[in-house]
Structure 1
Amino acid sequence: MARFSVPLLTLCLFVVTFSVNVQAPLYPAYVAASGLGAMAATVAFAAYVAGLLPTFIFLGGLSDRVGRRLPTICALLLGGGATLLLALSPGWPQLVIARVFLGVATGLVTTSGTAYMTELMGEAHARRAALMVTSATSLGFGGGALATGISLVVQGPSFAPISFWALIAAVPLLVMACLALPRIAMPQDKPMLRLPVFPIGSAPYGIAIALSWASTGMTIAMVPLLLDRQGLGGWSGAVIFLAVLGGLLCQPLAGRLTNPRALAVGLCLIPLGFAALLTGAITGSISLILLGTALTSASSYGFTYLSGLSQFSLLAPDDRARTTAGFFIYAYCGLCLPVVAAGALADWLGLAPAMAVFFCVQLACLASLVLYRRILRGDARQELV
């Protein structure tokens, strides 16, 4: 079984994150059925963080106490259960509940999975283990939306597309397979509730991933609504998949760079990508929307994601699970919280103007982060003199 452990864990990470966005192309349909506005879609999307942040904050070290397998199995069951709920009882309230479950699932699997992958591959391959985790989760986040988009094209409008049932069928099989995974690190006698760790020197990476994932949150939650209103709803699944695929394709290149260099590239791509996305949204150009999505993805799930996760892990190698929780708190606050504010603005100003306001705030935050990094480098040079 040992030789299949890494592929099996990779598949588990993929399936859990696949479940997170598998319902994303249906957001316009859920909103239309509820009779609510753009705010409803963004609240449902951000309900994810209501399950995820408490998991990161209070259960980031759970896998150190109970082992890595149990949190992974729980995450699979929550992902499958949330999808089953939406398949059997579609609606906006059910979507909110499902997103909370999916947040808990993601919190469990990313903290335990990152530590478990490093243990399976060995400490000497910690950076490669981080690449495996980011690749599996990136493909999962985008693959779920793409699968549902294709399912809707093939079978027509439905609140229970084929992609839902494929995921539901896969979960019990993976749960049984997980029971055979080896125990590498024995459970430790530590408190069940352990707060996340934010290593010294990690703040620039954390702020960068928050700003980067904010663009992805806008793409996943707002762009499908915009496309639906422009008669381009069929592109939603492809756009959301591209929001992750671009970063996945960039991860091998990001892996060849040092973490500071990869971070610098990621910071440059954030404004370029959202500028193209915003221009496409205003002009109704699907080409510009796709280009902007690809560029923001290259940062969100490529250069910024890999450099940040790797740097957090390297800064606190003896407490990797809780350090990973700290990293993802930054990431998911960026993914969800700005989207809720933009959703409220969208009901007042319109979708495109709300995205424009978001972009202005994002530019101001990026400028502040770049200035902060330059100040840190200047202080470091003075200490060496």
Structure 2
Amino acid sequence: MNAKTRNTYDVCVIAVSLFVITLSANIQIPLYPKYAVEGGYGNGFIALVFSVYVMGLIPVLIVFGGISDRIGRKISIIIALLISLFSNALISVYGSVEILFLVRLLQGISVAIVLGASAACLSEYIDDVNRAANIHGILVSLGLGSGAIMTCFSMSLLNWRVPMSYYMISILNLICILMAMKINRDDVRGVGAMVRLPVITSKSWKFCCSIFLAWSLVGVVISIVPSLLGDLDFDDSAGIVVFLAVATGAFFQPLCRNRTSDWALRTGLCIAVIAYVLLVVGIYLSSIPIILLSAGLTGASGLGFVYVGGLRLVMDTESVLTSRAVSGYLIFGYLGLGLPCVGIGYLGDVVGVSQAIVLYGIVSVALVVCGYIVGLRTKASRNNLIA
């Protein structure tokens, strides 16, 4: 196998591994309302289970965000695949609420490891950083968005106690592990401390804050909205909502290809505001089409324009810092994904979900407007200094 063919093989294995791990991260979401009803829990429980995934992910991003710089990309990806396989085996065999918490924790750890390692790999193999960022973003969006709808589809075909999707993803994990063992290039290894803290550059701060806001809306939609649609007798909505709120971003990312990161950021935040307004209108009118449209625009914003715009910027760093820069960027995203939905979940049990979402929106829109004003003033100040 010549060098070009070998590089192509390595890129394909890395891409498929990233997709499979993110695919397995959301396969349980359609069963959350069922677990909540059986245990007598409310929206707070659903949001808490969802946030356990973030609780497993963020500490790994903070402490071991650049671990692939130390132990190598290949080993990091294999470890992530093994953890993902183990979590799928646990939920397939036991399938209890208690095990679900552990499974979500392990899935968060697995995703945290593979995100930084795969981003660094793709940026090293692919000379064009924009192309590498687009490929990474599309794979993450499609993976995170397709797991839930895969479970819904498998349950509609065969209503087994353990969904067929669990077994299918476990098989895919095994195949990826075997393929990853044959990855040839693994020459990015460092010396020194095992702990590699994330890096946040001066240019990436506004993108970090923006992904926090955009992904907070994604978290609200995929953790809270399915239960609302269940109240409207649309019980099989979880997979569709997750797909629209996450995977839709993959179809909008190519629009950023010849645009600047700043353009992608502004466009994404504007779409996020529109998506939120439609969400509130859809909830108050009990309109399923409007709610689904809101979910689609949420995906276009959070996992489309905002995500790939910032990812392109942080991947355009030195090779030895790429995985740490990506980890720093994603920490903000996953904090946004987890924290607001937990607060809204518990607040919704007290004052009602609709009122909680309205309060969330008021705060989020205010932050977006303030950030936009600060950005304009900063730009004006720089222009005055140049003049």
Change in 2 beyond 3 A, CA 1:24/1:361: same
Given that residues 20 and 141 in structure 1 are in contact (C-alpha distance below 8 angstroms), is that contact kept between their aligned partners in structure 2? yes
Q: Distance in 2 between matches of 1:316 and 1:214?
A: 29
1:221 aligns to what?
223
1:59 matched to 2:64? yes
| 1:292-335 deviations in Å (ceiling 9; x for gaps) | 01111111111100001111222555511100010000100000
Counterpart amino acid of residue 280 in structure 1: G
CA distance in 2, matches of 1:317, 1:199: 14
Q: 8 Å contact 2:141–2:248 — kept in the other structure?
A: no
The aligned residue for residue 138 of structure 2 is 135
Matches within 5 A, 1:287-306: 287-306=289-308
2:34 paired residue number? 29
The aligned amino acid for 1:205 is F
The CA distance in 1 between the partners of 2:133 and 2:150, in whole Å, is 25
Equivalent of 2:365 in 363, 366, 372: 363
| Counterpart position of 1:255 | 257
Give, in angstroms, the shift of residue 210 of structure 1.
Answer: 0.7
Partner SS, residue 36 of structure 1: coil
TM-score of the aligned structures, taking structure 1 as reference length: 0.96
Q: CA deviation at 1:114?
A: 0.1
* Number of aligned residue pairs: 382
Q: What are structure 1's unaligned runs of at least 5 residues?
A: none
Paired residue for 2:77? Answer: 72
1:242 deviates by 1.1
Deviation at 1:136, TM superposition (A): 0.7
Q: TM-score, normalised by structure 2?
A: 0.96
Q: Aligned partners of 1:96, 1:193: CA distance in 2, in Å?
A: 26
Structure 2 residue 333 is the aligned partner of structure 1 residue 328: no
What residue identity is the alignment partner of 2:69? Answer: D
Distance 1:263 1:87, change over 3 A: same
Is 1:115 matched with 2:120? yes
CA, structure 1 residues 316+118, in 2 after alignment: closer, same or farther (shift >3 Å)? Answer: closer
1:189 positional shift: 1.0
- Which residue among 55, 72, 82 is the counterpart of 1:50? 55
Query: What are the equivalent positions in structure 2 for 1:1-385 lying under 5 Å apart?
Result: 1-121=6-126, 124-156=127-159, 158-314=160-316, 318-385=320-387
Tell me the C-alpha RMSD between the 2 structures: 1.4
Flag structure 2 segments of 5+ consecutive residues without an equivalent.
1-5
Deviations 1:235-269 (A, max 9, x none): 22111111123211001101221111111101100
> What letter corresponds to residue 109 of structure 2 in structure 1?
V
Q: CA deviation at 1:19?
A: 0.8
Alpha-carbon distance in structure 2 between the residues aligned to 1:275 and 1:159? 38
Q: CA deviation at 1:73?
A: 1.1
Q: Which amino acid aligns with 1:147?
A: M
CA contact (8 A) 1:27 1:224 kept: no
SS of the residue corresponding to residue 182 of structure 1 reads coil
CA distance in 2, matches of 1:338, 1:7: 35
Give the conservation status (yes or no) of the 8 Å contact 1:198–1:326: yes
- The answer for the alignment partner of 2:3 in structure 1 is none
Output the amino acid matched with 1:109: V
Residues 8-40 of structure 1 deviation map (CA, whole Å, 9 limit, x = unaligned):
111101000001111111110111122211111
Q: Give me the whole-angstrom Cα distance separating, in 2, the residues matched to 1:126 and 1:184.
A: 19
Which aligned runs of 4 or more in structure 1 are off by greater than 3 angstroms? Answer: 315-318
